[in-house]
Amino acid sequence: MSGTPVEGERLAHPAYGVLRQVTPTAAVLLAENPSVMTLDGTNTWVLRAPGEETCVVVDPGPLDEVHLSRIAALGPVAQVLLTHGHADHAEGAAAFAERVKAPVRALDPALRLGEEGLAGGDVVVAAGLEIRVLATPGHTSDSLCFLLDDAVLTGDTVLGRGTTVVAHPDGRLGDYLESLRALADLPEGTAVLPGHGPELPDAGTAARAYLAHRELRLAQVRAAVERLTERLGGPPTARQVVEVVYADVDRALWSAAEWSVRAQLDYLRG
């Protein structure tokens, strides 16, 4: 894996301002938007076959002039693809696409610029690549993954570190579990190129670990609801469940955990 400095550096993290080649066809540029939700920042992926001049950009990230300028310098850009519509992935997409004169393709029509959308089963042919689109709802209703020959770009469906949020009510846990099962069935050795955090060596292994984690959390939530209902004389709120199940988790993450707990409660009721 190699790193190439990019114009307009504002270095505070060793990965900022550096295009890092991860696979023969995928390189990553880290946006400078770190937080408890985005980890070190959003991974913007730049895809092209060896020797190709044009590229496909996945998730341009936030509306950050320096980051968007760095990506634009890596062009020409044939297409912009979005894994989903959260601002840390998609906020800068329209401005970036206007700058590089490329269409934006996404599942959500509100995010598109150009004629064509994206849906599961589509194949994007650009930059010398065939990129298969996988519908992977759950984190959000519009979440997509993009499958290359040797890797899958997972957006927020699978992260490089930690676990992701099911963003209830748009995200639904039942959908998310089905999406994880689909990723678990990918060929062995399919690398994970996530929206946040480092790449992972095997999508199947990562997805199965996520499934086990979700089953554990569901059991914990079910038990907490039973105990709290007995103690309170009625069903607890999602926040009350968070305070029990996530008692050992940084409180800065409790608001995000509450989204997932709402999704879990909805799933258990169903």
pLDDT in tens, 235-250: 999 999 999 999 998 8
Q: Which of 121, 104, 122 is nearest to 113 (CA)?
A: 104
pLDDT of residue 252: 87
Copy the structure tokens of residue 152: 């899958």
pLDDT of residue 92: 98
Q: Do residues 261 and 221 make contact, with C-beta atoms less than 8 angstroms apart?
A: yes
Kindly report the three-state secondary structure assignment for every residue of the chain.
Answer: CEEEECCCCCCCCCCECEEEECCCCEEEEECCCCECCCECCCEEEEECCCCCCCEEEECCCCCCHHHHHHHHCCCCEEEEECCCCCHHHHCCHHHHHHHHCCCEECCCHHHCECCCCCCCCCEEEECCEEEEEEECCCCCCCCEEEECCCEEEEECCCCCCCCCCCCCCCCCHHHHHHHHHHHHCCCCCCEEEECCCCCECCHHHHHHHHHHHHHHHHHHHHHHHHHHHHHHCCCCCHHHHHHHHCCCCCHHHHHHHHHHHHHHHHHHHC
Residue 39: other Cβ atoms inside 10 A: 20
pLDDT in tens, the chain (270 residues): 335 444 444 445 678 989 999 999 999 999 999 998 899 999 999 999 999 999 999 999 999 999 999 999 998 999 999 999 999 999 999 999 999 999 999 999 999 998 789 999 999 999 999 999 999 999 999 999 999 999 999 999 999 999 999 999 999 999 999 999 999 999 999 999 999 999 999 999 999 999 999 999 999 999 999 999 999 999 999 999 999 999 998 898 899 899 999 999 999 998
pLDDT of residue 15: 81
Beta-bridge mates of residue 193 = 153
